[in-house]
Amino acid sequence: MITLDLFNNSCGIRHAFFTRQGGLSHGVFKSLNCGFGSGDAPGTVSGNRAIAAEQLGFSPDRLVTCYQVHSNTVITVEAPWPHQEAPRADGLVARTPGIALGILTADCAPILFADASAEVIGAAHSGWRGALDGVLEATVGRMEALGANRGRIRAGIGPCIARASYEVGPEFCQRFLKVNPENAEFFSPASREDHFMFDLPGYVEHRLARAGITKIERTTNDTVGDEALFFSYRRACLHGEPAYGRLLSAIGLGN
């Protein structure tokens, strides 16, 4: 698992960006696949999630994830729910000790948040659509509603698809330029004519900074390029694989 110095010195905050290694799954899901919606055996996924939760120091039934739909909807978590009852959302916030907030990804960016002083945490799933539609700002706003101060909030951006692997067409680029012409800085020419390489983690960091978050750290991993460590939707498509696993990123307040 990968951790960030940003949170390692925050008293009571436990976090991790888990890789695909160290689990129970086989085949294309090998091995720490934590996504119930992946097509993997539910019992195996439960076992993998238990492994991850216990590595963080939480009971498996205290790990909470949502049914992610690429939205800007954020839920305040007061108690865990069964995975069958997970609400449709892409952000979670909490101030309840003993709960770990989890995000599932396979190229999208997982972002973990914490205001250690206020004991408020958050987690967001941010692909290009979520970032463009404001899921990051919505998560920060929900944290403030629980007593956080955005001047103290720290945000960690986990492994995701990097610019070198993210080729997009002209329509994709135009979506961002219509919102703000300055978004051109997150696109560079691709080898194919009229195509571009998009910097998702750079754009996510930009949106966080614009929201007033000053303490930001990000990993440098490319989920597409490192098959040994990460699941990747884009890589699975390129390889013609029938399914793909989900990576877990989680943050929690210790008891």
- Please, are residues 13 and 116 in contact by the beta-carbon 8 Å criterion? yes
User: How far is 23 from 19, CA to CA, in rounded Å?
Assistant: 10
Range in 1-15, 184-198, 221-235 with the lowest mean pLDDT? 1-15
What are the residue ranges spanned by the domains of the chain? 5-160+219-253
Phi, psi for residue 45 in degrees, rounded to 5: -60, -45
DSSP β-ladder status, 167-168 and 109-115:
unpaired
User: How far is 45 from 227, CA to CA, in rounded Å?
Assistant: 20
Q: Check whether 9 has a pLDDT greater than 90.
A: no
| Domain range 5-160+219-253, CATH class | alpha beta
Instruction: List all residues 6 or more positions away from 166 whose beta carbon is below 8 Å from its beta carbon.
Output: 197, 198, 199, 200, 224, 234
State pLDDT tens for residues 207-216.
999 999 999 9
User: How far is 129 from 14, CA to CA, in rounded Å?
Assistant: 28
Both structure tokens of 218: 């990000």
Phi, psi for residue 179 in degrees, rounded to 5: -70, -45
0.95 surpassed by pTM: yes
User: How far is 123 from 157, CA to CA, in rounded Å?
Assistant: 10
User: How far is 92 from 72, CA to CA, in rounded Å?
Assistant: 11
Q: Side chain identity at 134, as an amino acid letter?
A: G
DSSP β-ladder status, 91-94 and 74-76:
parallel
- The DSSP 8-state label assigned to residue 179 in this structure reads H
State pLDDT tens for residues 76-134.
999 999 999 999 999 999 999 999 999 999 999 999 999 999 999 999 999 999 999 99
